[in-house]
Structure 1
Amino acid sequence: MTCFLDVPAMSRLVQDVGVSRLLGELADTIRHDFVRWQDFEKCARLTSQSRTGVHELMPVASDDHYAFKYVNCHPENTTSGLFSVMGMGVLADAKTGYPLLLCELTLATALRTSAMSLVAARALARPGARRMALIGNGAQSDFQAVAFHSLFGIDEISVFDVDPSATDKLMRNLSDYRALKIIRADSISQAVRGADIVTTVTANMAHAHVLTPAMIEPGMHINAVGGDCTGKTELHADVLRGARVFVEFEPQTRMEGEIQQLPDDFAVVDLWRVLAGTEAGRQSAEQLTVFDSVGFALEDYSTLRYFHALAAKRCAGVEVELVPRPDDSKDLFRYTRPADVRPTLYRIG
């Protein structure tokens, strides 16, 4: 049987564990798997561009599990009241190929993206960072703010979005975090002034210059999250040229990340090497560091693995029959005869 976590089941799990605790556990799971980088068979995600967005399939495998996520990015969806990004995924037993988990990955992807930003900032931001700028206040922004306030020690966030209602939503959702000071900025340059960490999570499907060299201050760490497909960027190329840039999976980031603007010989550092202790991260307090975050399949593997274990521990989700249960493994044709098809058994957590 396969565990199925739909949106209500995922929502209950998040509420039961608590957002802050869950983000911390998920960040630890991702970091653990990144340190095991060489244990995985990896490839850049498979993309299909449409007129209004992009569809992506993200597979990864280890000796124990095979996992994939389907995800999209359609920025115009919000004008119709739809999410611009949604996803679903599968975790399978590598030994048999049988699916272990079928899972919603819209809410879960928002959680894992902010957890990944946290992993990178812990490794790259200068010690004692307390002030953060959050540019783009859409669906991902709340998770970023909670992760960095609760688990990194950020106590002041300056926020900006071209859509004032998005900032209204963010400030409303963060109102319970009374120890967090939120400053509503009038511009990007005002928001980033004096920030230790700048996180960009904009959705515009274009080569945008959300951050320009004039906005950059020594020692900043930038999590560039919004630029995650071909033709979509957030940083001026000269910001990258003046920084030490870190990537998840270089072949994919060359096509989809901020560095798609630069020549193929532009030097970058694999983040997994920093996490494993084989490569230096930040080299000085004054150095500008950039995490060119595009989202990589290993992060979804970690997320599926984490929620599979969590669902089993808390008896969450339902069990569904995605694969026939054979009396005779050579007789599949029997399932074409209604009398031989047994009813599906559901176990509700």
Structure 2
Amino acid sequence: MTTVGFLDVAATARWIAQRGPEAVIGRLIDALADDLARWEELDKRPRIATHSRDGVIELMPTADDATYGFKFVNGHPSNPARGFQTVTAFGVLADVHNGYPTFLAEMTLLTALRTAATSALAARHLARQDSRTLALIGCGSQSEFQALGMRAALGVTHLRAWDTDPAARAKLARNARALGFEVHEATSGDDAVTGADIITTCTADKANATVLTLEMVTELAHPGVHVNAIGGDCPGKTELDPRILHAADVVVEYEPQTRIEGEIQQTPDLAVTELWEIVTGRRPGRRETVRAPQGAGESFERGVGERSPLDATTGRTQVTVFDSVGFAVEDWTVLRLVRDDVPAELLAHLDLIAEPADPKDLFSLVRDAGGADADAVRHSLDRLMGLEGRTRPHARESAIA
């Protein structure tokens, strides 16, 4: 009997805890870079999305010539108010050569890991290498993972956190301090981005919102700021002032999908670069290489309106934006990494593949599953229907066969 390895939520959490979440994200950054390097070999397509007034349910498939994978995921912004998670997911890998599923895993936690790793990989190429202060606008389920990803990629040490929900902000501050970050609980979005080197926007409201303006980027953040926009991920859901996009170098995962779902749905004619092109060196990432004069965390406690002066000699004014909506290749990467790394004792095994002795005799599984219990059920039905003792030629023939 062929069984399929299954990693449930509790086992996934144990695997992450055993390996260390920051270490896992660091490994995943490198795995993503490897897969993006062979981008042109992969089967790619925009995800299949079913939208409703409550949210969206999506199927995200991709494959190479050996392994197929997909993720089932939802996004329902109003769920927390009803006692449910905003996002839940599971994923499957299958063997391309026979179509058999080979691995099944929860992907709510794994999606958080891969989103953070993708953000961190982009920041490695797009943010200033001396970036130490991360502004988080939105302190929900993704925020701790984002902080760990930026520390793994760039050595970020300071967080400036803002959320309209005080409980979410306090939760992030509590968890992040335990992880070793210096945390400033901001009083507004303006306060959060003041002195920031990287700004991550990750809000859940399914609307064309503007949580980050051009003035916040150019007048409050450090020069050469990198914007990691990950909350806009479906039609009609955005977070950035479109003027930011026109003023920045914009990078996306997969342009056909991002045109529909990302920030660039607001700017249909804007030229963009796909992340794989930068990872492989086909296109440039951040063009500025001179380190900033300030030290790690400088300006961390500055008040709104204070910022370091522009450095006219280096032209340190390039703004970069990673317009990330999440793409299936990222899920495929994390599923394969987990499948190859998770200890056997954390896996359950599911009988998902029907394998009769004769591949053409599928009905034999039903016939052979009956046994004595099936006979008892048949006799009970006969009594109820008044057929007990009568001849049942088909039943007799089946028993003989």
TM-score by length of 2: 0.82
Equivalent residue, structure 2, for 1:306: 337
Are residue 256 (structure 1) and residue 261 (structure 2) matched? yes
Distance 1:86 1:307 in 2: 18
Equivalent residue, structure 2, for 1:67: 69
> Which string of whole-angstrom CA distances, capped at 9 and with x for unpartnered residues, describes residues 151-204 of structure 1?
4211111000000000111112123223x2100111101110111100011101
Aligned positions of 1:18-29 closer than 5 A: 18-29=20-31
> Which string of whole-angstrom CA distances, capped at 9 and with x for unpartnered residues, describes residues 199-251 of structure 1?
01110110010110110133110110000011100001101010000000000
Equivalent residue, structure 2, for 1:141: 143
Distance 1:12 1:314 in 2: 13
Unpaired runs of 5+ residues, structure 2, are 289-315, 372-401
Equivalent residue, structure 1, for 2:287: 283
Distance 1:127 1:172 in 2: 27
- Matching residue within 102, 105, 108 for 2:107: 105
Equivalent residue, structure 1, for 2:239: 234
Letter in 1 for 2:143: S
TM-score by length of 1: 0.94
Are residue 337 (structure 1) and residue 338 (structure 2) matched? no
Question: For residues 270 and 150 of structure 1, do their structure 2 counterparts lie closer, same or farther at Cα, with a shift above 3 Å needed?
Answer: closer
- Matching residue within 88, 91, 98 for 1:89: 91
Distance 1:338 1:329 in 2: 15
Work out the number of aligned pairs and report it: 338
Shift of 1:149: 2.6
Equivalent residue, structure 2, for 1:344: none
Distance 2:66 2:274 in 1: 24
Stretches (4+) displaced over 4 A: none
Distance 1:151 1:27 in 2: 8
Letter in 2 for 1:133: A
Letter in 2 for 1:289: T
Larger Rg over CA atoms: 2
Contact 2:233 2:261 in 1 (8 A): yes
Aligned positions of 1:167-178 closer than 5 A: 167-178=169-180
Distance 1:88 1:94 in 2: 19
Shift of 1:326: 2.7
Aligned positions of 1:6-17 closer than 5 A: 6-17=8-19
Equivalent residue, structure 1, for 2:307: none
Equivalent residue, structure 1, for 2:198: 197
- Matching residue within 21, 40, 43 for 1:41: 43
Shift of 1:315: 4.1
Contact 2:123 2:150 in 1 (8 A): no
Equivalent residue, structure 2, for 1:320: 350
> Which string of whole-angstrom CA distances, capped at 9 and with x for unpartnered residues, describes residues 113-144 of structure 1?
01111110001101211111011000111111
Equivalent residue, structure 2, for 1:155: 157
Distance 2:348 2:356 in 1: 21
Distance 1:213 1:100 in 2: 47
Contact 2:250 2:322 in 1 (8 A): yes
Equivalent residue, structure 1, for 2:276: 272
Contact 1:334 1:340 in 2 (8 A): no
SS for the counterpart of 1:214 is helix
Letter in 2 for 1:82: F
Contact 2:356 2:365 in 1 (8 A): no
Unpaired runs of 5+ residues, structure 1, are 342-349
Contact 2:55 2:74 in 1 (8 A): yes
Report the aligned-residue RMSD: 1.3
Letter in 2 for 1:249: Y
Distance 2:21 2:149 in 1: 8
Shift of 1:330: 1.2
Letter in 2 for 1:76: S
Letter in 2 for 1:191: A
SS for the counterpart of 1:43 is coil
